[in-house]
Amino acid sequence: MTGFRVRRRLGAHRLEAHDADLAKRAGAALFAADERIRVAADELAFAEAELGAGAIQRSSEALVAVRGDLNTAFLLNRLNHEAMPGTVDEVRARYERIVQLCESAAGVLDEQIAAITERIARARREPEFVAGLRAEIERLRARVPLVHETIGCLAARYAREALVTVEADAAEAERLLAFAEHSLRVAERRRDAGVRDQAQLALEASAESVHRAAAMLDAVETFEVEALRAESALAAIVEESRRHIAVALETPPSRGISTAIDELQAALAGLPPEVNTDPFAHLRRVSTAHAALESAMAAALERAMIPISPVDRVSPAIEAADRKLEVARDAIARNPGRIGAEAMKALAESERIRIDLGHYLGSPAVAVSVTDQDHQAQVVAMARRAAFLASEALFLARRDIDASRHHGVRLLTPSVE
């Protein structure tokens, strides 16, 4: 019991020490925040004198909000020093809130002071900044005729719809440069009139317009490179598409593959000559059709890899053997005396395997059920061997028939055991 009490007293002592440290942190944060507000107010006063009230409006509003938060923090600190401040948890929560408010206020003030400092530095460099803007406007204006010449060359090779964007960019760049010059004149008039905040706003508008105009002129000049890249990619995918079509035509037909082949062939047939083209649109169309064919072929391959049921494999193999045997028997029976020993031997071997196959299955019927995979593979192999021998017998029989017709003789066919 004594140990329990000691641990409780030790925990309370540590808790009190923690609260005392938190109170010190809150007091230091309040002092620092109050000092930062005073410094920020002085900075704003200097900035207003140099830039005008309009240039620091947002910073002034931020300072008002920060002062409101700091007043709240002082109120919370006053509550914690009253005769009955509340529970320990309430006091601790107030101190934590004070620290939070002061840290937030410090961040806002640092951000606003940095922005004001940058604006003051820009204002002091305004003459050289204006000179730089004028030089940049002149440099961009000198590029405009070259850009129009580039568009003319592009128009001789590419379709009009492919050039709509770059033609619009060239026109917009000229408009932006005119607006930038106008904004510079406004900035100078406002500065001469002593309205520094309006002059600064006009100067910022001019700089933004110059930046956008440069980006649009760059887009026109890089269009040809992008178009050549698209043409190269189109040539590569056309060649690959033709190879894929050839492969797809050799695969077992399916509705999905047939549709994809038709769409890709239509896309390839729709390609115009090398001039008056829109390489981006053609590349998109052929790429889409090419991807559709690849998807259809992949789906067909996936379906082909699905295990086939035993009956689906065995029955077609036996049916194929029976059909070939029937054709070989009919050809030999209709040409007595003309068939040589090799054909008769191949036919006899095929018939023997077919008989063995019936015994092996336990039924001569074609519709059989084979569940064991090894059994199934052996049945299919026997059926394919019988079909091969029947085809060979037919080939040899036709050779013998042709030979007998050419020489006008009949062959003596020995009996085959």
Q: Are residues 217 and 241 in the same domain?
A: no
**Beta-carbon count within 10 A of 89 CB:** 8
Q: Are residues 28 and 120 in the same domain?
A: yes
Inside any domain, residue 417: no
Q: Are residues 62 and 149 in the same domain?
A: no
Domain final residue, candidates 68, 90, 124: 124
Q: Are residues 319 and 246 in the same domain?
A: no
Amino acid making up residue 140 = L
Q: Are residues 117 and 55 in the same domain?
A: yes
pTM for the predicted model, two decimal places: 0.40
Inside any domain, residue 131: no
Contact 150, 224 (CB under 8 A): yes
DSSP state of 235: H
Q: Are residues 17 and 118 in the same domain?
A: yes
Contact 31, 73 (CB under 8 A): no
Domain count, the chain: 4
Inside any domain, residue 415: no
Q: Are residues 351 and 377 in the same domain?
A: yes
Domain final residue, candidates 124, 156, 189: 124
Domain final residue, candidates 304, 334, 351: 304
Coil, strand or helix: which one is 366?
coil
CA separation for the pair 322, 29 (Å, rounded): 99
Q: Are residues 245 and 222 in the same domain?
A: no
Q: Are residues 252 and 319 in the same domain?
A: no
Q: Are residues 240 and 280 in the same domain?
A: yes
Inside any domain, residue 380: yes
> In order along the chain (417 residues), what is the average pLDDT of each group of 10 residues?
40 52 88 88 79 73 87 89 84 90 88 80 75 89 86 77 77 89 88 76 87 87 78 80 78 76 80 67 80 79 54 72 86 82 87 84 50 67 84 83 65 42
Inside any domain, residue 113: yes
Inside any domain, residue 416: no
CA separation for the pair 341, 359 (Å, rounded): 27
Inside any domain, residue 132: no
Coil, strand or helix: which one is 158?
strand
Coil, strand or helix: which one is 276?
coil
The pLDDT of residue 118 is 76
Residues 6+ positions from 402 with CB-CB distance below 8 Å:
none
Q: Are residues 45 and 109 in the same domain?
A: yes
Domain of residue 287: give its range: 232-304
Inside any domain, residue 200: yes
Q: Are residues 201 and 238 in the same domain?
A: no
Contact 147, 218 (CB under 8 A): no
Q: If you search the block for the tokens 């699905």, which residue do you land on?
A: 306
DSSP letter string over 282-328?
HHHHHHHHHHHHHHHHHHHHHHHTSPPPHHHHHHHHHHHHHHHHHHH
